[in-house]
Structure 1
Amino acid sequence: MLDAHTHLDACGAAGPEGVAAIVDRATAAGVMAVVTVADDLDSARWVTRAAEWNPRVYAAVALHPTRATALTDVARAEIERLTAHPRVVAIGETGMDLYWPDRLAGCAQPDAQREAFAWHIELAKRTGKPLMIHNREADREVLDVLGAEGAPDTVIFHCFSSGSTMARLCADAGWLVSLSGTVTFRNARDLREAVPLVPLEQLLVETDAPFLTPHPYRGAPNEPYCLPYTVRALAELLGRPAEELAHVTTANACRVYGIPDTGRTL
């Protein structure tokens, strides 16, 4: 399996030994590679270094939408520089988040988020790297920006949490849907009804660790080694063998990120 979206720094991996310990635990569970994702400028620098420390680690760089006000000219220049790194495989996570602005002091407001999202879209198109979207309670707003700016060739909706309407739109557009531990939550009814509407070749799996730990460990800290629980829940939901879902989602991730197919080296 391949963890399409995780946060190794937030999992407590401060340096090379910490990264190795986390990916060793993941490898023991069948997770052969991870994409560790930035959410601010310090994190963007860190994930790029982490991808150098361990061959099982790849990186994605951007400013999280809630931190969009930090996208100064200096920050733009540094993010652009980091995207040129050969182990940076995506622009992300970027997008729109309408949950936090009224709940978190200092959170970027929607106008700033839209401007930053548009810039990241342009960067993804210019670099040819996938666009990794964070979308929290902002389906219409995300679609508005994608429509206005024009979507890049490869779009990934990370930690997909929308319902059937959005799933159909993603399926029709050829966008990828990345599923986290929330697909194991029995109360995530709308999500569980939406997932079967997405073609297999458009599905990815992720942990978003250290958040969204899958059942039966919900509430405990998450790590990439927990990914098999999500794969098994997805397989049960779709009525397919877990081994098939592991192979298909790994092949999808390797294809869109442009990295070697880890599933063929097991």
Structure 2
Amino acid sequence: MTDKRERPPVPEALPAPVIDAHTHLDACGAVDAAGVAELLDRANAAGVSHVITVADDLKAAQWAAEASTWDPRVYAAVAVHPTRTSTFGDVEKAELERLAVQPRVVAIGETGLDYYWDYSPPAAQHEAFRWHIDLSKRVGKPLMIHDRDAHEDILKVLEAEGAPSTVVFHCFSGDADFARRCVDAGYVLSFAGPVTFKNARALQEAARLVPRDQLLVETDAPFLTPHPFRGRPNEPYCVNYTVRDLATLRGEDLSELCVAVTRNAQRVFGLDY
């Protein structure tokens, strides 16, 4: 019987390198430069060349920004997650302002709304979301959206505030109708492990219709490990499994899809390699 604590096997390298557009290296167990290098070495063996490590609170934002300076394969995104916004105030804002302008911080995220968990009042989430939208526009970096059970309100807030020039829906979770609305608005949709789940019919339908130039792939590691390893620890190398499934799902050549999502990530986040 497989030990659920055991990592999935590192798969054969992809035919062209891809970027994990959203991961949490600290939550994957990295604490220092050596730990980050170990995770990225495994990712490289699977054809995953670079990652964006993403914050969910102020401490994680500070860590992500610092970690992006330890290894040229790592970039960072900084924000306070919507479930952590009950105490979001001047201290958090001042520090995020400082971190957001650092050169290897390439996005403001993850921010948005989460109506699944009852950790932060909706009013606090909305206020913080609006502030992050403004920060994204002021520093000229993409906005990375966390959207859980909040599709309509996410779109309403973006419309009311005026969306930044680049908006990424991390771990896209909507159906085909919601995907079309996001695509029509010019937003970028990033797909993670759930698109490989056998019961994710609506999500798979959405993934089929996204234009190739508005598509990213990610792990959201250590969460949401792709099929057939659901429930086991996730790492950036596992984006290999997701992009393979996406190529099959969309009826595309794997090499061409790898090249496309890498170019998209480079364009969206302004990556300097």
Question: What interval of TM-score do these two structures reach, taking the shorter chain for normalisation?
Answer: over 0.9
Partner of 1:52, secondary structure, is coil
Give 2:227's aligned residue: 215
Give 2:52's aligned residue: 35
User: 137, 141, 147: which one pairs with 2:149?
Assistant: 137
Equivalent pairs counted in the alignment come to: 256
Pairwise CA distance, 1:70: 2.8
1:64-118 Cα deviation digits (max 9, x unpaired): 00001232101100000000110000000000000001xxxxx111111000000
1:46-76 Cα deviation digits (max 9, x unpaired): 0011101100000000000000123210110
Instruction: Check the 8 A contact 1:170/1:198 in 2, yes or no.
Output: no
Q: Give aligned-pair identity as a percent.
A: 62
User: Which residue identity is paired with 1:11?
Assistant: C
- Whole-angstrom CA distance in 2 between matches of 1:80 and 1:7: 21
Query: Map of 1:80-119 to 2, 5 A cutoff?
Result: 80-101=97-118, 107-119=119-131
Q: Does residue 92 of structure 2 align to residue 75 of structure 1?
A: yes
Q: Does residue 71 of structure 2 align to residue 59 of structure 1?
A: no
Pairwise CA distance, 1:196: 1.7
Runs of 4+, deviation exceeding 6 Å = none
Partner of 1:79, secondary structure, is helix
- Whole-angstrom CA distance in 2 between matches of 1:185 and 1:128: 35
Structure 2: state its 5+ residue gaps: 1-17
- Whole-angstrom CA distance in 2 between matches of 1:30 and 1:197: 25
RMSD: 0.7
Structure 1: state its 5+ residue gaps: 102-106, 262-266
Give 2:197's aligned residue: 185
Query: Map of 1:198-209 to 2, 5 A cutoff?
Result: 198-209=210-221
Q: Does residue 39 of structure 2 align to residue 22 of structure 1?
A: yes
Give 2:250's aligned residue: 238
Give 1:156's aligned residue: 168
Give 1:104's aligned residue: none
Partner of 1:204, secondary structure, is strand
TM-score normalised according to structure 2 size: 0.93
Give 2:182's aligned residue: 170
